[in-house]
Amino acid sequence: MTYETIQLSFDGPVATISLNRPDKLNAINAVMLHELEDALDDLEGNDAVMAIVMHGNGRSFCAGFDLKASVEKGRRGEREWRAALEYDLAVIMRFWHCEKPTIAAVNGYALAAGFELALACDMTVCGASALFGEPEVRFGSSIVAMLLPWYVNPKRAKKMLLTGQDRMTADEALLHGLVNEVVPDQEVLARGRSLAREAALMDPDSVRLTKKAINESYRIMGMEQALDAGLEISIEIETTETDIRREFNRILREQGFKAALIWREERLEKPDAPA
Which residues have a catalytic role annotated?
A: 136
Distance CA 161, CA 132 (A): 12
Q: What H or E segment, with its residue span, contains residue 257?
A: helix 257-269
Sign of CA dihedral 184, 189, 194, 200: positive
Query: Are 62 and 145 in contact, with CB atoms under 8 Å apart?
Result: no
Q: How far apart are the first and last CA of the chain?
A: 47
3-state class (DSSP) for residue 114: helix
Determine how β-strand 168-169 pairs with β-strand 131-133: antiparallel
- Dist. CA 207–CA 17, nearest whole Å: 20
From the list 45, 44, 40, 48, the residue with the least C-alpha distance to 14 is: 48
